[in-house]
Amino acid sequence: MTAVTLAAPGAALRYAPPIEAELDHLAATLGAVPALAERYPLRWLAVQLLEGDEQLLAEAESLGGPAVTAALAASRERLAPHYGEDLDVALVDQRYRFVHALAGQALTRPAAPPLTLSDRIDQVVTHRWLGIPIFLALMWVVFKITTDVTAPFVDWIDATLSGPVSGWVAALLSAAGLGGSWVEALLVDGVIAGVGGVLVFVPVLLALYFALALLEDSGYMARAAFVMDRLMHALGLHGKSFLPMIVGFGCSVPAIYATRTLDSRRDRILTGLLVPFMSCSARLPVYVLIAAIFFPAHAGLVIFALYLTGIAVAIVIGMLLRRTLFRKQPPAPFVLELPPYRLPTLRGVWRQMWERTAAFVRKATTIILATSIVVWLLLAVPVRGEGRFADTPVEQSAFAAVAGAAAPIFAPLGFGAWETSGALLTGFVAKEVVVSTLGQTYAVAAAEEEAVTPTTFGEDLLGIAGGLVSATGEALRALPGVVGITLEAPEEETAPEGLAAAVQAGFEASSGGHGALAALAFLVFVLLYTPCMTAVAAARHEFGSRWMWVSIVGQFVVAWLVALLVFQGGRLLGG
C-alpha cells in the first residue's frame, strides 16, 4: 500500500502521487463549470467522483456535460494499473491511514487501555477455560429455579384444577341435568385433564422465561453464544450455528428461521437439522411431570442433564454430518459484537415473561385444546368389548387401538404401553400435548381410585387461598436451595398418588420393573424426536420437503437409538 504523506502541523491529507495528479486534473476540469465550482469544494468533489458517488456523478454530468464524463473516465483509466477495481478502497484506506497516523501523533495513550466493567466481567465469563463452566453453572441455576422453586405452585394449580374446578364443573352440569353424561366426561376428562394438565406448568414456564429474560437483557446470552461458538468452531462446526441453537432453548420454530443468518445454504440446512435437538421450552412440562414422579429429589439435575444431552447430541450429530453429507466447507470465522452489560429492568423482564407465557397459554387454548378433544373422542369410542360411547374401558377405545399398534416400536425402550406411545404420537402436534395425553389416558384409572369428599363453594375458595399462601411459603423456603443452602430437613419421600401413581405403575409394568430407567429413556426420547408440527412446517418452508423428511426420520432414529442406549445400557449396568 502506498504511504500517505502527513504534513503536520497543518495536517493536510495528501493521497498517493498518482491519485493526487488525477485529483488535480479533475479539479481543474470541474472548476471550469461555474455551477459546480460555486456549489462544491472542487478537490472534495473530485474525490467523491473517483470513489463512485452516483448521485454527485449524475449532477456533475448534467451540469458539466461530456467534458466531465470524459475527464473522469480518463482519470480512472490512468489509475487502473495502480488500483484495479479497488480505487475507492485505496482512497478510503488512505484516509483511514492518515487519521490513524494523525491520532497517533496527537494523542498520548496509556500502554494498557483502561478496562470498563463490561471488559472485566468479559475477561471471566468469556474466558477460554472458565466460559463454558460458567455457562453450565448458570443453566444449572435456571433449572433449579424452574423445578424446585416453582414446584409448590405447580402442585397448587394442579390441586385447584383437579379438585375444586372439576367439582364446580361437575356440579354445574348436574344442576343442568347433565351429571354423569358424556358432556361431563368430555369437560372433566378431556378439557380439564388435558388442557388443565398443561396449564399447571405455567409457573414453570414463567420461571424459565424470567431467567431467560434476565440473561438476555443483561447481555449474557450474547456471551453464551460466543463461548459456545468457540467450542463449536473448535469441533469443526460453523461457529454461527450456536446462535440459532440458543434461540432453540425458547422454541425450535424461530430457531429454524434464525438459520437464515448463516451465509451458505449447506450451513443453514446443517444447523436446521441440529436445532430441534436443543430442548425447547415446550418440552419442559414433560420433564417436570416425569422427573417429579420418578426422581423427586433430583428433578433439577435430571432436567439439567437433559438440556446438556440435547447440546451434546447436536454437537455429535453435527460433527458426523460435517464429515459425511456436509464435508468440503471449512467453518468460517466471524466477528460478534458483545453489547455492554446492562441491569435488566423490571418492565423489560416482565414484558418478556408475559409475552412468552401468554403465547404458551394461547397454545393451550387452541392446539392443545383441539388435540385433547380429539384424544378424548378417540378414548370415548369403543372398538372392542361391549362398551358404549363415553362409557367404555380406555383399553378398549379407538385411541388405545391406534396407540397400541405403535407400542411395539417403543417396547425395547421400556415404554411400550399404549398410553405412552399414544402420548408420543400426539406429542408430534406439540410437546405439551404429551402431558395432556398422559393426563387423559392415566387420569381415568387414577380418578377411579380417588375418593372425593364433598365440599362447599366457600370451603373450596378458602382451600384455594390457603393453598396459595402455603405454596408461596414453600417456594420462598426453596429459594436458598438454588445455591445449595437447605433451610429445612428434607421431606420423607411419600408414595405417589393419583395420576403420578398411575404413570409410575404404567412405566413399571411396561419396563419389567425398571420404571425409573424407562422414564429416563422416555424423557430422552421426548428430548430428541420431532419438536412439533409447526417446526416441521418451518423446516419444509426453509429447506424443502426432502430435508424436512430427513429431519423427521433422522430425529426419530436418533431419539430411538439414544433412548435404547439409556434403557438397555442402564439395565446392563444393573439399573
Partner 1 sequence: MLHQVLEALETATGPVSLDELSRQLKIEPGALEGMIAFWVRKGRLRSGVGGACGGACAHCGPQAGTCVFNAGGPRTIALVERTRSYPDR
Site for partner 1 in 344-373 (CB under 8 A): 352, 355-356, 358-360, 362-363, 366-367
> Least Å distance between CB 37 and partner 1?
29
> Least Å distance between CB 453 and partner 1?
38
Among positions 271-300, residues that touch partner 1 (CB under 8 A) are 280-282
> Least Å distance between CB 58 and partner 1?
19
Does residue 225 touch partner 1 according to CB under 8 A?
yes
DSSP state of 417: S
Whichever of 25 and 540 has its CB closer to partner 1, that residue is 540
Among positions 507-546, residues that touch partner 1 (CB under 8 A) are 534, 538, 541
Whichever of 208 and 407 has its CB closer to partner 1, that residue is 208
What are the grid coordinates assigned to 158, written together? 394442579
Does residue 93 touch partner 1 according to CB under 8 A?
yes
- Applying CB under 8 A, the span of 67-75, 231-239, 415-423, 520-528 interacting with partner 1 comes to 231-239
Whichever of 1 and 485 has its CB closer to partner 1, that residue is 1
> Least Å distance between CB 466 and partner 1?
33
Give Cα separations from 34 to 30, 65, 68, 75, 339 (angstroms): 8, 12, 13, 21, 49
Taking each helix axis from N to C end, the angle separating 265-274 and 533-543, rounded to the nearest 10 degrees, works out to 170
Nearest to 238 by CA among 294, 318, 355: 318
What are the grid coordinates assigned to 539, written together? 423446516
Whichever of 303 and 403 has its CB closer to partner 1, that residue is 303
Whichever of 251 and 445 has its CB closer to partner 1, that residue is 251
Site size with partner 1, rule: CB under 8 A = 71
Q: Which of 14, 25, 43, 97 binds partner 1 (CB under 8 A)?
A: 97
Q: Which of 96, 168, 389, 549 binds partner 1 (CB under 8 A)?
A: 96
In this structure, are residues 175 and 314 in contact, taking their beta carbons and an 8 Å threshold?
Answer: no
Looking at residue 449, its amino acid is E
> Strands 12-14, 5-7: parallel, antiparallel or unpaired by DSSP?
antiparallel
Question: Per DSSP, what are the bridge partners of residue 13?
Answer: 6
Does residue 302 touch partner 1 according to CB under 8 A?
no
In this structure, are residues 307 and 280 in contact, taking their beta carbons and an 8 Å threshold?
Answer: no
Kindly state the helix (H) or strand (E) to which residue 7 belongs, with its residue range: strand 5-7
In this structure, are residues 521 and 566 in contact, taking their beta carbons and an 8 Å threshold?
Answer: yes
User: Scanning the structure block, which residue is given the C-alpha cell 416441521?
Assistant: 536
Q: Which of 106, 171, 332, 469 binds partner 1 (CB under 8 A)?
A: 332
Does residue 20 touch partner 1 according to CB under 8 A?
no
What distance in Å separates the CA atoms of residue 446 and residue 498, rounded to the nearest whole number? 5
- Applying CB under 8 A, the span of 32-40, 191-199, 337-345, 387-395 interacting with partner 1 comes to 337-345
> Least Å distance between CB 122 and partner 1?
8
Look at the alpha carbons of 472, 476, 481, 482 in this order and tell me if their dihedral is positive or negative.
positive
Kindly state the helix (H) or strand (E) to which residue 14 belongs, with its residue range: strand 12-14
Cα-Cα-Cα-Cα torsion 570, 572, 574, 575, nearest 10 degrees, comes to 20
Does residue 388 touch partner 1 according to CB under 8 A?
no
Q: Which of 48, 218, 261, 455 binds partner 1 (CB under 8 A)?
A: 261
Does residue 92 touch partner 1 according to CB under 8 A?
yes
Does residue 145 touch partner 1 according to CB under 8 A?
no
The burial class, CB within 10 Å (0-12 / 13-18 / 19+), for 480 is: exposed
Q: Which of 111, 117, 175, 335 binds partner 1 (CB under 8 A)?
A: 335
Does residue 53 touch partner 1 according to CB under 8 A?
no
In the stretch 57-76, what mask flags binding to partner 1 with x, by CB under 8 A? --------------------
Q: Which of 142, 149, 198, 222 binds partner 1 (CB under 8 A)?
A: 222
> Least Å distance between CB 8 and partner 1?
19
In this structure, are residues 484 and 434 in contact, taking their beta carbons and an 8 Å threshold?
Answer: no
What are the grid coordinates assigned to 9, written together? 502541523
Does residue 166 touch partner 1 according to CB under 8 A?
no
The burial class, CB within 10 Å (0-12 / 13-18 / 19+), for 442 is: buried
DSSP state of 466: H
Does residue 2 touch partner 1 according to CB under 8 A?
yes
What distance in Å separates the CA atoms of residue 226 and residue 220, rounded to the nearest whole number? 10
Does residue 5 touch partner 1 according to CB under 8 A?
no
Among positions 433-462, residues that touch partner 1 (CB under 8 A) are none
